[in-house]
Each structure stands twice: as C-alpha cells, then as structure tokens.
Chain A
C-alpha cells in the first residue's frame, strides 16, 4: 500500500520537475531522441526490406526446385564448382521424361543484351530464354497479350514478352503489341506484357519487371548454346511431398549425369529457402550495424541524462533534506529521481517515435514500402525508459544516501 502511494508521489514530483525545466529537458533528451529515431528507423527499414524481399521472392513459389550447375549462394566456393559440366537443354528433356507426368521442368538461361525500340535503348537488359512452362513454375501472368506457347518454342519463333518496367521504358504510352524490337542483333515481335511482380533488385536479386522473355530455342540460336549451362525450374506434381520430390530429382539428375555412387553431386538443387537464408544473413548484419549506431547514440544520450540528473539532485538537495526530515525513506527518494530520469527519457523517446513516423514516411516515398508498426513503437518506448532508469540510477542513489542534516542545511 505505502509503496503505491509513494510511487504516485514520486511520479507527481517527476512531472512537476519536468514542467519546471522544459527547455533543459528537451536539450538533454536530444541524444535519446536521435537514438530512438535510429532504433525505429533501423527496425522499420529492416522490416520494410524483409517484407519487400519476401514478396518478390514469393514469385518463385515454394514447391519449385531450381536445378543448376552451381548453388545460388556460393559463399566463396567458386573454384570448387567451376569444373562441373554444364546443364544442357537436352538434359531438361531427359529429366522431364524420367520424372514422369505431373512434374514440370522448365529450362531457362539469361544473358545481358541491349534492347532497342526505335530510338529507345536499354543497355544490359536481362534477356531470358524460357519456355511456355514458365507460367506453370512461377506466379507470373501476362497483363495483356499472351505468353510464349509450346509452338513458339518448337518453331523458334522470334517473339518476346516484356516485363512491365521494360515496356514503360521502351514504349511509354505506345501499345507495344506486334511492335518489332531489337534484342542484340536479332529482331523480335512483342506478343505480351507481364503483370507487375515487384523487385528483389534492391539486394542484387532479379528485378522481374525489367526482364524480357524469348523462346529458349531462339535464345540458343541467337546467343549460342555451346558454353551455356541452363537452370531447370522443377515443379513437383500436385500433392507431392517436396522433400521426397527433391530426393527423386537428385536421383534422376545423377542418372543423367552418369554419376557413380561414390561420386558427389556435380549439380546443385536451389530452393527459395536458401535465398531467404542468405537474405536473413545480410539482414542480420544490417541490423547489427543499425543497433550499434543506435547503441552509441543512446549511450551518449544516457550520459547526458545522467549529467542533468546530477544537476537536478544538487539543485534539490535542500528539498531532499526536507523530505527526509518528514519521513521519506531512501527508497522513496531513489524512486523519485529514477522516475524523473525515466520520464525525461520517455518524453525524448516519444518525440523520437513521432519524428520516426516522418522518417518512415520519407523512406516509404523514396526507397521502399515501410511503416512504423506498434511493436516497434513499444520497443522504442521501453528502451527509452530503460535508458532513463540506467542513467538515472547513480544520481538517484546518491540522492537517496544524502545525510538528512547536511541536506537540510544545504543552500
């Protein structure tokens, strides 16, 4: 009971002290404000990045395996993989035959070529050679026109489908359907435009919207197929267990590659998970750097608050003496000053959070979708109170230990 009332009194004193020293309080909390803005912005940006990434990667689909010569994430083991034989186009046909009906195998490869329509040129556009099955192994759908068909592929038709960003850049408001464009030196007719898919380009990943799709057969014809290793997107039959299916794919690939039982795989099975793992690793580092910056500014802010609390204790030595004389215990005094420093920091934290909403809005507008979420606000405010308690402790402890007689006679 008595603790509750004493706490309330302490809270009341803290508020009164803040009111009495508004300007000083705000200046003191500058470090806290900066720290909290850093916390909230880092976390918000990280969240935004993660969401953005997940969204764009989800295009790839979780029930699809990607067979390729080397893993997506090589982690510096490049030399270990460079002598592996290429995956050839005919291997994909073998794989499809051996996996049987239900499973879908789509061979693709990409190259960088300039793409040109009239005077508009995109240097280094990503040109993807693929088949009609592309639509089955990804969530990509044409927005208008049509995608490649099996006939386009078999007949090596010079047709292409554009990503939405590419269409914008090349054609602006002009209807691209049936227009002729140059890809490298070859001419292609536009037959469709893909729906917007979002971009993982922020991380050096694929920007699905700036790609151009052509039949893989034509791709080989125009850009050569000899030193190319294709990637096979393999989709499991409906209802199949993805783990079992992976095992099956590995088995069939080993047959195609004619590996003896004691030889290691000379191909790699990639999954969306491995991308996510890599992303999470990068994200972890980004977060750690963000937290380090945050930690430093909060530390500086905390030292500022500690300093001002020492001033506050000294200024109010006489008051502490009065309170002690009429019966305040050490804990009551300790509580009073801890609450004051916490309140200062909480105020700073609240200002910081408010500013962060502005920063997040700017990020949202300029860089990527990001918004401050309630848990982040909660964490930020908790952290600021924590800083208050920690930085206020030594001054508050000193106040609580003052000798009542000395304090009473202090002028």
Chain B
C-alpha cells in the first residue's frame, strides 16, 4: 500500500466544542491507483485531504504513508514528507505571484536541497512535461488559468512524489480548460503515477478508477469503477 488509513478520526476544537470532521475512516490506496474522493461540503473531504497531504495529523487512528506512520511526526518532519512524497495541485493554483514559471517549479527542489544544475534539469523536464517549455520565464499573471494549473502540476510532479493530490483542480477553470487539465491527470496516471482527486463534480470523478464518497465524516461508499471513459 502506498497509503493506508486505519480508523482515522479528526476532531477540531471550536470554542471548546469538539467538532468531529472525520469519525473513523479506513481505506488503502495502492500504487498507480486513480482515486476520486467525493462528498458534499462539510463531509470531511478537506480534512481528509489535509491529512493525506500531511498538512495535518489525525486526532486518532493511524495513517501510514509508504509504510511510515505519519501521525507521530513533528512539523518539520511533515514538511520533509510533503516535500518528498506529496505533490499538491490546488483549486486556486497557489503559485508564487512574483516568481516566474521556472522558479515556481524549481521551489520544491530548493527546499529538498538539490544542487542547482540538477534542479534546472528536473524543473525544465517537468515544465516541458505539461507543455509550457516556451513559458519558462513568464510570471503567473502572464498566463491563462489553464496554464497556471499546468505550472502547478509541473511543480507537483517535479520531485517524483508518491502521491499526486489534487484538490478541485478544475474548480477555477472553464469546462474546456478543465477537461484539458483532467487529460493531463489521465496521462500522468497512465505513466504510473498515483493520483487522488478531491472533487464534487461527477464527470471529473468519472475519470478516476475508484470513487470514495464521504458523508458526515464517514465513508459512505467505496466503489471500483469499470474502466473509465
């Protein structure tokens, strides 16, 4: 298993009232799976994504990532895991506005401590992979929404993560551009990447091979879909 959650619970302390965002969620995801996590707002989707992405740790239960227990780690160790094993793609792109495409993509490698020559090679490959080789020195505000999301994908890919974790990656895009971005994910999956899409759109989810539906902090359904369209 690349990723293994066992009775994961998350309780937020809101004005000293415990709010159960997750009430015991267990599932595993193997390498090269293509999973959609769905559910209405308030279902615990975002909390689950934060935990899978190692931005947050469970209140109870265990989360194993590549066999290592993440729940016991400190903030810096979590940062290291995010750097090495997780590739984030956000709905709002979350690029550094003052940095050009190259620097945005290179950034995770800098924090990984990679040498400049190696960094350049890897970043250029990742940028070429999403078809933006000719936009290398443009800033995010000089790019279209679809291009920005491609930059984000390149940044997520650049350090060969165990999981590509996308949170509503098409939410800020028109349907045509959204479809193009989903195509990129499809391609990345066929190249062997493990992909988790968090979405509330059925036609986006239909690209995944497995669909986990959350409701009220619990798994409502976990279905393997027949070969995607």
Q: Give chain A's interface residues, CB within 8 Å of chain B.
A: 1-3, 5-6, 8-9, 16, 20, 318-319, 321-332, 404-405, 408
Contact = CB atoms under 8 A, between A and B. Distances in A.
Interface in B43-74: 50, 53, 55-56
Contacts of A5: 110, 113-116
Nearest to A3: B113
Interface of B: 50, 53, 55-56, 75-76, 79-80, 82-84, 88, 90, 94-96, 98-99, 107-108, 110-116, 155
B84 A322 contact: no
B98 A332 contact: no
A405 B50 contact: yes
Contacts of B107: 9, 323, 326
Contacts of B50: 405
A325 B82 contact: yes
A184 B195 CA distance: 107
A80 B72 CA distance: 80
Nearest to A333: B79
B113 A328 contact: no
Contact of A404 (B55, B90, B95): B55
Contacts of B114: 5
Given A325-B55, A328-B111, A20 B82 contact: no
Contacts of A408: 55, 90, 94
Q: Which 7 A-B pairs have the closest CB atoms?
A: A2-B113, A327-B83, A327-B111, A329-B76, A326-B108, A329-B79, A9-B110
Given A327-B80, A404-B55, A2 B96 contact: no
B98 A20 contact: yes
B139 to A, nearest CB: 12
Given A5-B114, A5-B116, A6-B113, A327 B94 contact: no
B171 to A, nearest CB: 14
B11 to A, nearest CB: 15
A379 to B, nearest CB: 34
Given A322-B94, A327-B82, A330-B76, 8 more contacts: A5-B110, A5-B113, A6-B111, A322-B96, A324-B79, A325-B53, A326-B88, A404-B55
Contacts of B56: 405
B163 to A, nearest CB: 14
Nearest to B75: A330
Contact of A325 (B76, B88, B113): B88
Contacts of B98: 16, 20
Nearest to B81: A327
Contacts of A318: 94
- The interface centre, meaning the residue of B53, B82, B155 with most chain A CB atoms within 10 A of its CB, is B82
Nearest to B110: A9
Given A20-B98, A322-B96, A404-B55, A327 B108 contact: yes
Contacts of A404: 55, 79
B60 to A, nearest CB: 19
A20 B98 CA distance: 9
Contacts of B108: 326-327
A3 B115 CA distance: 11
A330 to B, nearest CB: 6
Contacts of A323: 96, 107, 111
A139 to B, nearest CB: 63
Contact of A327 (B95, B96, B99, B112): B112
Nearest to A17: B98
15 contacts: A1-B113, A1-B115, A2-B111, A5-B114, A8-B110, A9-B107, A16-B99, A318-B94, A322-B96, A325-B53, A325-B82, A332-B111, A408-B55, A408-B90, A408-B94
Contact of A319 (B88, B96, B155): B96
Contacts of A3: 113
Given A323-B107, A325-B55, A408-B94, A2 B76 contact: no
Nearest to B103: A12
A251 B200 CA distance: 107
B104 to A, nearest CB: 9
Contacts of B110: 5-6, 8-9
A404 B50 CA distance: 10
A214 to B, nearest CB: 79
Nearest to A10: B110
A3 B110 CA distance: 10
Given A319-B96, A322-B96, A405-B50, A327 B116 contact: no
Contacts of A330: 75-76, 79
B167 to A, nearest CB: 10
- The interface centre, meaning the residue of A321, A404, A405 with most chain B CB atoms within 10 A of its CB, is A404
B75 to A, nearest CB: 6
A384 to B, nearest CB: 25
Contacts of B95: 322
B113 A326 contact: no
A326 B55 contact: no
B111 A326 contact: yes
Contacts of B82: 324-327
A327 B76 contact: no
- The interface centre, meaning the residue of B98, B107, B111 with most chain A CB atoms within 10 A of its CB, is B111
Nearest to B156: A326
Contacts of A2: 111-113
Contact of B79 (A1, A321, A327): A327
Contacts of B84: 327
